[in-house]
Amino acid sequence: MPRRVDVPTLVDQVLANQRAGIARAVTLVESSLPADRPLARQLLAALLPHSGKAVRVGLTGVPGAGKSTFIDAMGCRLIAQGHKVAVLAVDPSSSRTGGSILGDRTRMGKLAESDNAYIRPSPSGGHLGGVARATREAMIIMEAAGYDIVLVETVGVGQSEVAVSGMVDTFLLLSLTRAGDQLQGIKRGILELADVIAVNKADGDNAGEARVTARDLSIAMKLINDESTGRRTPVLTCSALTKTGLDEVWQAVLDHREWVDKTFGLEKRRADQQVDWMWSQIEGSVIDSLRSTPELLKLGNQLEADVESSSVSALEASSEFLAAYARAVPGFAWAPDLSSTRQ
Ligand code: GDP
């Protein structure tokens, strides 16, 4: 049965920070039903002027690095300082079968109890582009609802981090100590994205090891950081369990944000992110449209086989495909389902 969504009511509920309304609004932007997209756009257009004021932080780390423990402890601390904290997640693999679910309330027990926290797990399934879009739009809802800190959690495998770094002000990598290095296999690409690194579990017998790891990582960052910016990624140690070093990590996040503002201008950086986002949405939709009719799909598959068997050159095949695409363009319904776009 189709759901009836009254957008103006939903807008009022979000702005009044009513949890049920916020949940419905997020469900709407997560929906992949084509009929829901115009409603979602209407909702976002109304909420957009009320958004943009939050500190947006991405948080990554391999499973077991302590992300949920960290978010729980840090979130409660920030709320005690008077903030309102939203936790979102991007996990296209949607590890609902086995492994932990990112942004799962039960993983952040104390924070989940607070009236000033809103925790939303990753939208399930689908392409990264669709999941990232939904999270980006959920962030607008959170900000409009008055959350002034938005944490976006992601599991450190690569693609999702690139997507998340395009929607946050600061990207924080939670790392394990050296002993776990081979296991955690932090990819260079993730180190490149990190604005702040915190070596977690710096407690008990592990404290010394954590300091050594932090020093090693700090040296590694010398090679990875872009020298022209003159900024070296700070590497700190902390313990989410004993809650030591958390204030310093948060201060490093705020310092980075201030550095971005001074160096590039925060608004300019966010505007650039929007431009990148616009193009990735356009590109994703155009790429999807290349396969959006049975004829094009068939032709694409046929040409792929021909090129593979060397019976047609790549150049000829691409021309043939593009010619067929150009003929088909007037027939396209140019309202592709954005939820299925790639990034
Ligand atoms: P996630 O998969 O990254 O969310 O990791 P979790 O937060 O679930 O933590 C994985 C395990 O490490 C749990 O058993 C936590 O209790 C433990 N843990 C998390 N942070 C710390 C820490 O700072 N010190 C110690 N000793 N254990 C921690």
Report yes or no: 111 and 85 within 8 Å, Cβ to Cβ.
yes
Report yes or no: 238 and 248 within 8 Å, Cβ to Cβ.
yes
Residues of the chain with pLDDT > 70: what percent? 87
pLDDT at 49 over 80: yes
pLDDT average, residue stretch 300-314:
95
Cβ(26) – ligand 1 distance below 6 Å: no
Q: What is the pLDDT of residue 254?
A: 97
pLDDT average, residue stretch 100-118:
80
- Domain positions in the chain are 1-50, 53-264, 275-328
Tokens of 247: 């204030």
Q: What is the pLDDT of residue 141?
A: 97
Correct CATH for 1-50 of 3.40.50.460, 1.20.120.1200, 1.20.5.170, 3.20.20.70: 1.20.5.170
Nearest ligand 1 atom to the CA of 239 is 23
How many angstroms is it from 315 CA to the middle of ligand 1?
Answer: 52
How many angstroms is it from 201 CA to the middle of ligand 1?
Answer: 7
Cβ(237) – ligand 1 distance below 6 Å: no
pLDDT band at 105 (very low <50, low <70, confident <90, very high): low
Q: What is the pLDDT of residue 103?
A: 56
Nearest ligand 1 atom to the CA of 204 is 26
Residue 13 DSSP SS3:
helix
Residue 308: burial class (beta carbons within 10 Å; 0-12, 13-18, 19+) = exposed
How many angstroms is it from 205 CA to the middle of ligand 1?
Answer: 15
Q: What is the pLDDT of residue 186?
A: 65
Better-scored residue on pLDDT, 178 or 243: 243
For 173-182, the pLDDT digits (tens) are 999 886 545 4
Nearest ligand 1 atom to the CA of 240 is 23
Q: What is the pLDDT of residue 191?
A: 86
Q: What is the pLDDT of residue 94?
A: 53
Nearest ligand 1 atom to the CA of 65 is 3
Cβ(133) – ligand 1 distance below 6 Å: no
Ranges 70-79, 93-102, 222-231, 288-297, most confident = 70-79
Give the integer Cα–Cα distance in Å for 97 and 93. Answer: 10
Nearest-5° Cα angle at 270, 160 to 74: 60
Nearest ligand 1 atom to the CA of 238 is 23
pLDDT average, residue stretch 100-120:
81
pLDDT band at 101 (very low <50, low <70, confident <90, very high): low
Cβ(66) – ligand 1 distance below 6 Å: yes
Q: 311: number of CA atoms within 13 Å, CB side? A: 6
Tokens of 41: 């756009």
pLDDT at 85 over 80: yes
For 1-13, the pLDDT digits (tens) are 446 789 999 999 9
Lowest mean pLDDT among 88-102, 125-139, 197-211: 88-102
How many angstroms is it from 63 CA to the middle of ligand 1?
Answer: 9
Cβ(239) – ligand 1 distance below 6 Å: yes
Average pLDDT, the chain: 86
For 264-281, the pLDDT digits (tens) are 999 999 999 999 888 888
Q: What is the pLDDT of residue 156?
A: 62
Going by alpha carbons, the residue nearest to atom 24 of ligand 1 is 201
Architecture of the domain delimited by 53-264: 3-Layer(aba) Sandwich (3.40)
Cα-based distances in Å from 232 to 204, 221, 226, 227: 28, 7, 8, 8
pLDDT band at 152 (very low <50, low <70, confident <90, very high): very high
pLDDT average, residue stretch 283-294:
80
pLDDT at 326 over 50: yes
